[in-house]
Amino acid sequence: MRRTHRLETAVSLSSETSARLVRILSSVGIASLSLAVIAAIQLGRIGAVDFHGTPYPDTPVAPVFSLTGHTGERVDLEDFRARPVLLFFGFTECPDVCPLTLAKLDRLLDEMEIPPEEVAVLLVSVDPETDTPSRLAEYVQAIGPSITGLTGSREEIEAVLGQYGAYAEPSLDHEGRRLIAHTSLVFGIDRTGHLQVLIHTDEPDEVVSDDIRTLIRIGA
């Protein structure tokens, strides 16, 4: 996942270097790495922030979308208004990042004694051809009760990816098995529907937990 590594490495760059990175990416037109996300990384390191992760400058309204949930019913992002949302892009055949990220979020919420009805964890599948509602249902139920799996048509998924500046690119590993390189950050949306932070779940438990608590406090 070379581009994921590149995105996460950008967090440690100085503001001057980050600004140069934004200009370079703009000139070569890399669509899969949203300049909005890169800008959030760049600008968020400059000002005082309450998050350990990468805060969004100006906390924009999270783009709304409507997809099919793992129960087969239509699910809108606005259905979760009034509670924080942890939004993650992944797929059920993901061998490592997806199950580790989702299991960590579910475990930390349980350890903090935060019930599923207080914080929503949304998994938007980047492999809609494979991830049917029934397959997603089996997958998320095996991980934890806080997770809602979402899928849709290829066009719908591509639209949501574009709205959030996320990417998903099919590839093959050295043995010819199908993989999908994708954004591995978690988008933190507050209870009023604003993007607040990009959470890095590869950080220690206490860091991720602290960011979740901060997100919960906003607008409470």
Q: Are 190 and 215 in contact (CB under 8 A)?
A: yes
Give pLDDT, residue 127.
Answer: 96
Angle between the N-to-C axes of helices 35-44 and 15-28, in degrees from 0 to 180, rounded to the nearest 10: 170
Region 34-43: mean pLDDT is 49
DSSP string, 132-154: -HHHHHHHHHHH-TTEEEEE--H
pLDDT band at 18 (very low <50, low <70, confident <90, very high): very low
> Has residue 43 got a pLDDT over 90?
no
Instruction: Work out the number of other CB atoms within 10 angstroms of the CB of residue 207.
Output: 16
Give pLDDT, residue 176.
Answer: 75
Cα–Cα distance between 214 and 196 in angstroms, integer? 10
Region 13-18: mean pLDDT is 38
Which range (11-25, 33-47, 54-68, 131-145) has the least confidence? 11-25
Region 198-209: mean pLDDT is 96
Give pLDDT, residue 31.
Answer: 42
Domain ranges of the chain: 2-50, 66-217
Does this model's pTM top 0.85? My answer is no
pLDDT band at 178 (very low <50, low <70, confident <90, very high): confident
pLDDT band at 37 (very low <50, low <70, confident <90, very high): low
The architecture of the domain spanning 66-217 is 3-Layer(aba) Sandwich (3.40)
> Has residue 16 got a pLDDT over 50?
no
> pLDDT, tens digit, for every residue of 64-108?
999 999 999 999 999 998 999 999 999 999 989 999 999 999 999
Instruction: Work out the number of other CB atoms within 10 angstroms of the CB of residue 4.
Output: 16
> pLDDT, tens digit, for every residue of 127-147?
999 999 999 999 999 998 889
